[in-house]
Amino acid sequence: MVKTAARAWVAAHAEALSDWTRTIWDFGETAWREYRSCDFYVDLLRREGFTVEEGSGGMPTAFCATWENGPGPTIGGYAEYDGIPGNCQAAAPKKGPRAGLSPHAGGHTDPHSGLGIGSLGGFLAAKAAMEAHGIGGRLKFFGEPAEKVRGSKPLHAAAGYYDDLDAAISFHPFYMAPLCNTVRWDTHCGAGYAMIYEFTCDAPETWMAGTDASPIPASHASARAPGANDALVAMLQSAKALKEHVMASGESWSMNEAILTAGQATADNIPAQIAQATFIIRISEVAQAEHVVRGLDHFADCAARLTHCSWRRHWVAKSRPGLPNHAMARATYANLQAVGAPQWGDKAAAFARDIQKELGLDPMDQPFLPMISELIDPEVAEKRIRRMIPPDQRHFTSDDYTEYCWHAPTVRLYIGRPALAAPPGFAYPAWAMNAMGGHPACIDPMVQTAAQVVGMTVLDCLTNPGLLDEAKAEFTQRTGGGVGGTDWIPPLADYPPPIHFRWPEYVTTRRGTEWWIPTMPGEG
């Protein structure tokens, strides 16, 4: 009866959930600059009766919202809403940016737009059932910005925001087989470290200084210090060598980099004063991440010495690997079995076939991957994951939901998102999947399924003391005594929010509001 009420709320609010999803998708904001997206959630939650702390953890685009209905457990969940630069795609069956924007602007890939609303819908559905049936408890819903750089959750954790949770629910759209319409079992995500290396050339006049030096430092005809851009190039090249030699050993990990600032477009005969690059490491264990960072520090120091610069490392993220909780996983998967995998209708199939035609393929009668509409038992999925990685590797891939795992029993839920079936040897371009994330008929089935499962699991945690007792006992056992136990990893974030860097964003000038790289003629 209680779960039926939650599912009925989702059905009654299907149109609203669809509109909210598309609203966040259209914002297309990126890490640390999700101003409109954050405001949307804050306003909506306040209208729903939540008390909302804006700027939680010192992060302007984060929030912490709470709602209480009398004594009871505290259940946590969250929305993410950051996209990725360079993925500005219209909700159309052809490649092209959203109206009036450059293709270099931000857009949703996973999509976090559906992730956040699917999770929010579940919490609002649980709230409605709690009110209707007099169920006590407290809901705590977070706005988690900058997930793509593992940004907010380590900071929220270190600031104590998760300390009062009795359980947490993490939902993510399917992105990697076999994790589609299932929950994680033993092999959770690994550690994620991200940092910015900054090079500055703040004393260029001391480069090769002599008695016959030009009276004007770095004049057009004089030798000059190599400067920050040269340091950046040397750092990037060295980092590529590090990745090649570590990956050659068979370790399953990744390291990616992006340039934030490169000399401020200086083209005169003066050295570039500042250059910054960000690196993100996805790896199984914290000790391995720290080992890679030591290598990067060494390369940064060498690059700075070579180019007459100084260097600093700024932390963006230090997230811990995940911790299983079978009790929460079993309960959540049982709810997914009751709801069933999402199903896609004729409008979604027609849109998918239009994409196939645009790409020169013969449209398929069944254009979607079968797995997005099928359940997979979590222990079966676990066995398939273990075949993909070395036997002694404990974690695979990276996502910072893992921060919740060290403060409360946490489940990781995956729901199928629209993904196209491909002819042998064919790979779809990224824009095709991104476009479906903004098309209501394509993305709504995932959002509605997730909302039902999340809502039902929240209610399980509030109404089934045996479940929470079992989940907490497992949490205590796995951490060697609970929070502070012998196997517990404390929060690693010992740095301020990295919000003051040149993160890509939308800007407003006399030209109007546009991406920070202006739209060129013929674009948009």
Residue boundaries of the structural domains of the chain: 2-189+321-478, 192-208+220-318
Is the omega angle on the peptide bond into residue 217 within 30 degrees of 0, that is, cis?
no
Residue 145: per-residue pLDDT: 98
What is the C-alpha separation between 178 and 416, in angstroms, rounded? Answer: 11
Segment 239-296, tens digit of pLDDT: 888 777 766 555 678 889 999 999 887 777 788 899 999 999 999 999 999 999 999 9
Fold of 192-208+220-318: Alpha-Beta Plaits (3.30.70)
Residue 441: per-residue pLDDT: 98
Question: What token pair was written down for 329?
Answer: 């996983």
Cross-strand partners of 142: 64, 78
Residue 9: per-residue pLDDT: 98
Is residue 382 classed exposed, middle or buried when 0-12, 13-18 and 19+ CB atoms within 10 A define those classes?
buried
Residue 214: per-residue pLDDT: 54
Q: DSSP character for 491?
A: P
| DSSP string across 141-195 | EEE---GGGT-HHHHHHHTTTTTT-SEEEEEEE--BTTBSSEE--S---BEEEEE
Cross-strand partners of 140: 66, 76
Kindly report the pTM of this predicted structure.
0.94
What is the C-alpha separation between 216 and 218, in angstroms, rounded? Answer: 6
Q: Phi first, then psi: what are they for 472, rounded to 5°?
A: -70, -35
Please answer whether residues 311 and 231 qualify as being in contact, where contact means their C-beta atoms are separated by less than 8 angstroms.
yes
Is residue 294 classed exposed, middle or buried when 0-12, 13-18 and 19+ CB atoms within 10 A define those classes?
exposed
Q: How far is CA 515 from CA 90, 110, 120, in A?
A: 15, 21, 28
**Which residue type does 9 have?**
W
Beta-sheet strand order (sheet of 182-183): 51-54, 63-68, 138-143, 74-79, 167-173, 410-415, 182-183
Residue 462: per-residue pLDDT: 97
Segment 347-370, tens digit of pLDDT: 999 999 999 999 999 999 999 999
**Residues of the chain predicted below pLDDT 50:** none
Under 8 Å CB-to-CB from 392, ≥6 apart: which residues? none
Report CA 276 to chain centroid distance, whole Å.
22
Residue 268: per-residue pLDDT: 77
* Phi-psi map region of 208: left, alpha, beta (phi>0 left; psi -120 to 50 alpha): left
Unique residue bearing structure tokens 């994951």: 385
**Which residue type does 207 have?**
W
What is the C-alpha separation between 42 and 124, in angstroms, rounded? Answer: 14
Residue 225: per-residue pLDDT: 84
| DSSP string across 403-421 | HHHTTS-EEEEEE----B-
Among residues 197, 199, 172, the alpha carbon closest in space to that of 78 is found at 172
What is the domain class of 2-189+321-478 according to CATH? alpha beta
